[in-house]
Amino acid sequence: MRKFREFKRIRTVLIVVAIIIAITSLFVSQQLVKDLSREEHSKMELFAEAYRTLDDADENTDLSLVLSVISGNQTIPIIVVGEDGDIKSWQNIEIRKADTLAFLSNYVEHMRALGNSIKIYYSDVDKNHFNEVCFDESLLLNRLTVYPYIQLGVVVLFVLIAIFALLSFKKTEQNRVWVGLSKETAHQLGTPISSLMAWTELLKDKYDDELIGEMEKDVDRLQMVAERFSKIGSLPEPVQADMVGVLDGVIDYVEHRSPATVRFVRKFPNPPVNAKVNASLFGWVVENICKNAVDAMNGKGTLTITLTEEKNHVVIDVADTGKGIAKNSWRSIFDPGYTTKERGWGLGLSLAKRIVTEYHKGKIYVAHSELAKGTTFRIELPK
């Protein structure tokens, strides 16, 4: 239990660190974009001043520096517009439509909407005559704006692929452990069960006692447990079965071995309620949930098993009046190794989920739980 919590804590810390790195990367890139944007705006102010100087120039004006500034812009899209809205010149713009003037006019409106325009007045007194320098962000600035998101997307995709690969590998390893453990358990149980069956037959010949019959039932039970373990790892074909009969058999067994202070309540419709199940394996699931419920109630309370039939599913609810489960643990309880018992292995509910989801294509989950009031487990099986 403690190791499981430490693993969850480490995973959470790693996720938080990854988020901080991503946010920091975006923040730094946005600062670079802002700095470059301010630099480009300063260049456009210099360009506008050069253009005003060019308009005011006479035959004695040295235009070498002015022309150098104007021709030096090789990256920022620029359109110079007259006071009457006519296009006077443009730079670094790829014309994408046959109607050049219409395209440039629309582009000018886009630049103005971004606030990227500088008016060049012919004189400080006359504000009615001017040229307007409209500009857009350079290709480099646009790429720098988008690149961090592309980079983060690639990193996230790589991380997701890595996590998926690790989880697949982990699941494969878990499956191998499950199968190996189950097969070995079935093999080890086989010999003593055979011996017990032989001793039971010998005792029946010598003694006619009710206890012999009970021993025989327990031996049969052991044989069924060994059969269940032997089926883990294989794909036993589910067959159509009456769920009332399956549940009655399991509940009778658990009730017979539970304290008298535990009251079992069965809410079943009139049989048959059919579903495709492997009765041996599915009985294991219900038995495991019922035993956990008895433990959660400390041997005193009410255990209610409800069977309902829906259009496409058969639903089994197992509700106890025990100590309940915290909501943040509703999903964790099905993880291998998760247990609240001092001597528990944390494998029962994990194995139950595997049997329901993989062998029966159904669902098992905590439908409702309140601390100190009880828990309801729900199993949904396709009809």
Residues 242, 133 share a domain: no
| CA terminus-to-terminus distance, the chain | 36
Domain membership of residue 158 (yes or no) is no
DSSP 8-class letter at 234 = B
**Over 70: is that where the pLDDT of 4 sits?**
no
| Residue 346, domain extent | 236-382
Question: 313-319 and 78-82: which strand pairing?
Answer: unpaired
Is there a single domain that holds both residue 252 and residue 365?
Answer: yes
**Does 157 map to a domain?**
no
Mean pLDDT of 219-247: 77
Q: Is 196 part of any domain? A: no
Q: Most confidently modeled of 70-84, 94-108, 116-130, 261-275?
A: 261-275
Is the same domain home to 133 and 240? Answer: no
Q: Please give the Cα distance from 279 to 239 (Å, whole number).
A: 8
Judge whether 153 lies within some domain.
no
Q: Helix, strand, coil % (nearest 5) of the chain?
A: 55, 20, 25
pLDDT tens profile 178-224: 666 666 676 667 767 777 777 777 777 777 676 777 777 777 777 77
pLDDT in tens, 6-34: 656 666 776 777 778 778 877 888 888 88
Is residue 133 located within the same domain as residue 247? no
Name the residue among 283, 289, 276 with its Cα closest to residue 350.
289
Instruction: Name the more confident of 254 and 50.
Output: 254
Nearest to 304 by CA among 377, 381, 382: 377
Predicted model pTM: 0.52
Residue 82 in contact with residue 131, Cβ under 8 Å? yes
Residue that terminates a domain, selected from 137, 164, 189: 137
61, part of any domain: yes
pLDDT band at 1 (very low <50, low <70, confident <90, very high): very low
CA dihedral 238, 239, 240, 245 (to 10 degrees): -90
Determine the average pLDDT of the residues in 166-184: 67
* 210, part of any domain: no
Domain boundary among 86, 105, 137: 137
Residue 270 has pLDDT above 60, yes or no: yes
162 is a domain residue: no
Domain of 124, CATH number, reads 3.30.450
Last residue of a domain, one of 137, 155, 188: 137
Domain CATH code at residue 279: 3.30.565.10
Instruction: Classify residue 94: in a domain, yes or no.
Output: yes
Confidence of residue 175 (pLDDT cuts 50, 70, 90): low
On the CB side of 139, CA atoms within 13 Å amount to 6
- Count of domains in the chain? 2
- What is the C-alpha separation between 371 and 296, in angstroms, rounded? 11
Distance between CA atoms of residues 171 and 164, nearest Å: 10
pLDDT digits (tens, 9 = 90+) for 312-347: 899 999 999 999 999 989 988 988 767 776 666 667
C-alpha distances in angstroms, 310 versus 157, 168, 313, 367, 368? 40, 34, 5, 16, 19
Look up residue 98 and give its DSSP letter: S
Q: Kindly tell me if the per-residue pLDDT of 89 is higher than 60.
A: yes
